[in-house]
Structures are given as structure tokens and as C-alpha cells.
Chain A
């Protein structure tokens, strides 16, 4: 398992484009928002938590179609399926690798982008907390979407169509946590719901992902 994790991380770092791309995309979305809604700082401050969450979500989505497709092409997915490691565990590891290379940098960079959007002072800590709690769920759900569409040629757009509705609860609670934090309100309810979703998804979703992947490898 460790070897698989290290391999995925190495691939993400060395085979260009994977690692920094999500972060750059997040930055571009953040920069484009003031152009589209106008530079008034009070308006930006109000929408900043939601925009940052949406940007992080889209950046996560961007790298999903390569999560399993490249491994299918070079045959390593078949090797994984026949290895003694259960497919559920392998997919959990791949989701973890995806989170480490996509979600974690987003969490760490989000406060920096918050400055660009004039995020209010108390919002920073809650933005980081909510993203840290929520992005693992995005990676795990995204792995399910990737497993569903891995056999389909040009499945990228379909993947977005399938995964985005599944992201709705995570986005609602995540953005609500960040919004309440920025407004200085009590955040415990949405934060707990967000953590609950993430834990439940980590526990259950790999089974669905593995079931879908087995169908596609048949």
C-alpha cells in the first residue's frame, strides 16, 4: 500500500502538469471572479468563502479524469486488480494520493487567495478548517466518478456531469462553514455535518468505487 501511495505521488510530481495544475487553476478562477462581478471590496468579502469553495471544488474536478485513465492505458490498473491487495484498499490509496497532490495544496493556498478576495479576518481559519475537512470527501467521491467512467472514451465531460451533483452536500456544508466563520457566527453545526459526510464517504465509497471499477475491468 505504501509502495502504491509513493508511486502515485512520484508520478504526480514528476510527470509534469499533474501537481501544480490544480493550484494554478484555483488561482485563475480566483483572479477571474473580481473581473466578472466587479472590484467592490464589500461585495467580494461577502462572496469570498463561497467563491473559494467553488474554485477548490472545480480544481479538484479538473484532475479526476486522469486519476484512473492513465493507469488503465499502461495496464497497471489490471495489475492492481489481480494483486493480493483488495481493490477497495487500492482505490482508497489512490484517493489519498489524489488528495495529497490536489486537495492539500488547495487547503494550504486558500488563505493566500482569500487575501485577493478581501476575505474578512475571522474567515481565514474557518476557510482552512472547512477545506481541510471537506476536500478529502471531494477526492473520494471523485474516485468513484473516475471508476465509473474509466472505460469510456472522452469520458471527461460525463465525469463532471456525474460527479458534480454528488458534490452538492459537501459544497453546501463546506461553504456554509466558511461563510459562517467569515461572518463571525457559530460554525459547529455545518462543520460537524461536513466532517460526518467526509468520514462516511471515506468509509463507504471505496466499496462502490471498487464495484464500478470491477465492472469496467471485466
Chain B
């Protein structure tokens, strides 16, 4: 966004904020969606096939390590989806752009599915490695709590009839929930020491997962990110059209 100091406030928003206009947003998302679908499909196919069939087995974990190509990206996206909802909620509360509120609403079910994938693949991976499907480990527990937050958020969207009221209430809940989700993460850490290994990927650490696993993992993560974007764009478009249909029906009834 460009800030112009000498001119008076522009009548039409420029740059990034101009996509708050639903028509412009829809046009943009329609142009970009096919590319997103294709790219995410290609990345997922390459990353998963490369990861599953063309990497060696881990010397301790054997072939079970290969579930990492589903587990890590979905866990990453589960957290990032909530973060995206937080940003979108803030934009809605501050600038009142409807597209933003609808994007937050559209992202929530995707985030839930990512959380479930991370939990299920984690259980499937944990069974041979730790000898248990589930342990009350801090990371596992915080993910379960994140899942509950998602459920509450979606339930609140569903329960409120008026769309603007629902957007306001869910945004407030998202802000408060974010604070409490972080607080729970640390509380849970304090409460129990875990089985789960440390971070698999980080930017500031020398030691990451070995390169043979690392490269296909990055491709798979890119695939998940693109898939998330495609789903959110698609679902936001659906929400916008749904709302427009409702408005048209309401106008028809009044006429």
C-alpha cells in the first residue's frame, strides 16, 4: 500500500486494499484460481511421490518416517490458518471490509481439516514409534486445544443469524482465542514434559532434517500452502456469492 502525504485522501483505495471490493476480489480470484489449483496439485504430487517412493528409509524409524510429508505440512497449515483468521479478523474489525470477514469464515473449516490431518497422521506415526496412539504430550495436547478453538469459532459463525453481528462476534472470539491459545501452549508445556521431538524445521538452526528428507518436504509444504490458498480463495468466492444471492432474494421479496 502506498502512502501519499501531499495529496488529500484518495477517493478510491489503491493497491492491496482495492481488493476489499468484492467484484474486484472475485475477478482476481477467478484469474488466479486455476493456476493455484494446478500448482498445488503439481507440488503435492511431486512432493508426496518423491517423498514416498524416492527417499531412503530412516535408519531408526524405517519407512514410517515417510508420513512426515503429510504430518508436518498439515500441522504447519493448521497453525497458519488460525493466524490468517486472526489477521483477517483484525482487518474486519478495523477497516470493516466484508471480504476479510468472509475470508476468515472460509479459512476456518480448512484449518479444522488440517488440524485433524495433523492429529490423525501423528497418531498413525506415534503408534509404531512411541507404542501409543495418543499421549498427553504438550504438542499433541495443544493441537487438541487448537481443534476445540476451531470448533467453537465455527459454531459461533453458524449460530448467529445476522452476518455482520456474526462477523463481529467471531472476530472478537478469534482475538481472545488467540491469546488463550498461546497461553494454553505454555501452560501445557509447564504441565507435562513430552515425547514429541523438537521442531523439525527452523530457520535459525543448523541442524534440520537431513537433506534427502528435507527437499521433498519443502515441496510438499509448498503444495499444502498453495492448496490452502486455493481453498480459501474458492470458499471466499462462494461466501460472497451466497451473500449476494441472499441480498437479491431479499430485494425481490421486498419489491
Q: A173, B187: Cβ atoms under 8 Å?
A: yes
Given A162-B173, A169-B180, A151 contacting B165 (CB threshold 8 A): yes
A18 interface residue (CB < 8 Å to B): no
CA distance A152 to B149 in the complex (A): 19
Smallest CB-CB separation from A152: which chain B residue? B159
**What is the CB-to-nearest-CB distance from B66 to chain A, in angstroms, rounded to a whole number?**
33
Complex: A169 Cα to B142 Cα, angstroms: 11
Q: Which residue of A lies closest to B180 (CB)?
A: A166
Instruction: Specify the chain A residue showing the minimal Cβ separation from B149.
Output: A165
B151 proximal to A (CB < 8 A): yes
* Chain A neighbourhood of B169, CB < 8 A: 148, 212, 215-216
Nearest residue in A to B153 (C-beta to C-beta)? A162
CA gap between A136 and B154 in the complex, in Å: 28
Give per-residue flags for A162-190: 1 if the beta carbon is below 8 A from chain B beta carbons, else 0. Answer: 10111011001100100000000000011
Given the interface pairs A190-B190, A215-B169, A216-B169, the reply to whether A168 lies near B156 with Cβ below 8 Å is no
Shortest distance between the CB of B155 and any CB in chain A (Å): 6
Residues of B134-189 whose CB lies within 8 A of A: 145, 148-149, 151-152, 155-156, 159-160, 165, 168-169, 172-173, 175-177, 180, 183-184, 186-188
Q: Tell me if A168 and B184 are in contact (CB < 8 A).
A: yes
Q: In the complex, A152→B170 CA distance in Å?
A: 13
Report which of A161, A169, A205 forms a contact with B155, defined as CB distance below 8 A.
Answer: A161
Residue B191 at the chain A interface, CB threshold 8 Å:
yes
A168 / chain B contacts, CB cutoff of 8 Å: 145, 180, 184, 187-188
- Number of A residues, CB within 8 Å of B: 28
Q: Which of B160, B172, B177, B191 touches A176 (beta carbons < 8 Å)? A: B191
Q: A152-B160, A172-B190, A215-B169 are in contact. Are A165 and B183 (CB under 8 A)?
A: no
Residue A158, interface by CB 8 Å: yes
- Least CB distance, A97 to chain B, in whole angstroms: 22
How far, in angstroms, from A166 to B153 measured CA to CA in the complex?
Answer: 12
**In the bound complex, do residue A166 and residue B177 qualify as a contact, i.e. CB atoms below 8 Å apart?**
yes
Contact among A144, A158, A165, A166 for B156, CB-based, below 8 A: A158
Q: Chain B 187-216 against A: per-residue CB contact (8 Å), 1 yes, 0 no? A: 110110000000000000000000000000
Taking CB atoms, residues of chain B closer than 8 Å to A148 are 156, 169, 172-173
A155-B180 in contact (CB<8A): no
Q: Which residues of B contact A (CB under 8 A)?
A: 145, 148-149, 151-152, 155-156, 159-160, 165, 168-169, 172-173, 175-177, 180, 183-184, 186-188, 190-191
Q: Besides the contacts A169-B186, A172-B190, what 12 more A-B pairs have beta carbons closer than 8 Å? A: A148-B169, A158-B152, A158-B155, A161-B148, A165-B145, A165-B148, A166-B177, A168-B184, A176-B190, A208-B172, A211-B172, A215-B169
Q: List 14 contacting pairs A-B, 8 Å CB cutoff, sorted by A.
A: A148-B156, A148-B169, A149-B156, A162-B173, A165-B145, A166-B177, A166-B180, A168-B188, A173-B190, A212-B168, A212-B172, A215-B169, A215-B172, A216-B169
